[in-house]
Amino acid sequence: MLKFCKYFLLCLTVFLVTTPGNTFAKAKNASKTVKVTGTGTILDEDTSSAKDKAISNSLIAAVESVLNETLPQDVMVPNFKMITNILYKYTNTFIEGYKVLAETKHNKDYHVLVQATVSTKKLLRKLNAAGIVLDTANKHKILFLISENNFQDIDAQFWWGQGMAYMKTVSDSTLTAEMQKRGFEVLSHRLVNKAVVTKEMNTEPYGEQLSVDDIIALGVYFNADVVVSGVAKAEQAQNTMGEDRTFTGSMSLNIYRTDTGEKIDSVSAKATTVATDETTGGNDALIEVAITAAGDIASTTNIAMKKETDKATMIEVVVEGTDFFKNYSKLIKRVNSLPEVKKITQREKRPRRAIVVIEHMGNGKSFAKKIMGETFENFGLNISEVTRNHVRLEMVPLGSSLFDR
């Protein structure tokens, strides 16, 4: 049975894994040129305005075409409304250039054939900043530590308290659903055991107020990339109208990275609802504020995590395994072909072990996720240690039982 230590980040066993991540990586920095048509209606014999409208519609169609080609269905479908709003609002931002190849008038319509160049980089950057996870093969794992104060509760409700592991509050449930829509992997805390809610070295359980060290420790335990910690509260406001009363929901949250322990940012949100009773009003207020906060959390997290992938990190990789020289040469050749890898320097090489330093666009965790997507004919990879600047992996024969070791 797998056991987790407080500061043990990741234990991943990989045999044959396929992923669309490489295709996405190649597409995300390219510009694409497409040919599309557009139509504008001629009103009051104004063909000039109709032509402008036709061109405008063709440019929207060009961006739509690139989006459909670039984004997988599991990103497009759940985020279709948000993506469509961004497309129409920022169409001209994504167009690098265009020219009209042909045009014609038919009855009351003006038609154009346009060749347009779309900046995929700008398009994906805008979607990323909107809080949409674009590369579903590398979802950010997020853990919520939200203490909730609602009308029906005498005391604050928080799942990490002793005997409260199965608690699911309104704010937690709503944040989970909203983040999953955007493509994040929200970590479940339903299977938490006694050791998690009790601090090491003593029997004192975690309380409502968590220190930064406690927050990071819980995030590490659950193998989260990001931890969101804070409070949610429902209150009644002063405004009334007959039986209707006004309720407010508020959230004050901090976002942390588990690999560095740093605070990414803070998020504060408020929402107002109207209801005739406290239960409905409090729940509705918490739902509305959680929906608002989720957008800010997603955007902030995406931007922060993308900054990490945009800069190079020196990662020490320890490689061990059987049939070492034959398999090691295949592994290093494949690693060197990854677009994120800029340079490989060999530090040590023995009969069954080598140490290399890899200059990688991203950190150790992103490198581990990337190499997970690679398959080899004679061996699999057991990745047993991952930190920001260190990865340990073992090349193992296909078919061996790693968990019996």
- Residues 213-222: tens digit of each pLDDT: 889 988 888 8
Q: Which class does domain 29-129 fall in? A: alpha beta
Confidence of residue 286 (pLDDT cuts 50, 70, 90): very high
Q: Based on C-alpha coordinates, what's the Rg of the chain? A: 26
Least confident of 9-13, 131-135, 240-244, 255-259: 9-13
Looking at residue 367, its pLDDT comes to 85
To the nearest whole number, what is the mean pLDDT of the chain?
A: 81
Of the pLDDT bands very low, low, confident and very high (cuts 50, 70, 90), residue 292 is: very high
CATH superfamily for domain 139-307: Lipoprotein like domain (3.30.160.150)
- Distance separating alpha carbons of residues 215 and 228, to the nearest angstrom: 9
What digits encode the pLDDT tens for the residues 205-253?
677 888 898 899 888 888 888 999 999 998 887 666 657 788 888 999 9
**pLDDT given at position 62:** 93
Look up tokens 């061990």; give the residue: 320
Mean local confidence (pLDDT), 259-277: 87
For the segment 389-404, what is each residue's pLDDT rounded down to a tens digit?
A: 888 998 888 765 543 4
- pLDDT tens for residues 14-23? 322 333 344 4
Higher pLDDT, 403 or 103: 103
With a pLDDT cut of 90, the percent of the chain lying above it is 30
> Please, what is the Cα angle at 376 between 394 and 345, to 5 degrees?
60
CATH 3.30.1660.40 in the chain is located at: 29-129
List all residues 6 or more positions away from 233 whose beta carbon is below 8 Å from its beta carbon: 148, 149, 249, 250, 251
List pLDDT tens digits, range 299-324: 988 888 776 666 677 889 999 887 78
**What pLDDT is stored for residue 19 in this prediction?**
35
pLDDT tens for residues 50-91?
A: 999 999 999 999 999 999 888 888 888 888 988 999 999 999
Q: CATH 3.30.460: which residues of the chain? A: 312-404
Q: Which two tokens stand for residue 368?
A: 């581990």
Residue ranges, CATH 3.30.160.150, the chain: 139-307
Residue 6 has pLDDT above 50, yes or no: no
Contact at 8 Å (CB) between 120 and 29?
A: yes
Segment 115-160, tens digit of pLDDT: 999 998 889 888 988 888 887 766 788 999 999 988 777 788 888 8
pLDDT, tens only, 331-384: 888 888 888 888 888 888 888 888 988 888 777 877 888 888 788 888 888 888
Q: Residue 8 above 70 pLDDT?
A: no
Per-residue confidence (pLDDT) for residue 340, from 0 to 100:
82
Residue 16's pLDDT is what?
Answer: 27
pLDDT score, position 308: 62
Q: Which amino acid type is present at position 344?
A: I
Calculate what percentage of the chain has a pLDDT beyond 70: 83
Domain 312-404 belongs to what topology?
Beta Polymerase; domain 2 (3.30.460)
For residue 310, the model assigns a pLDDT of: 61
Q: What is the pTM of this model?
A: 0.65
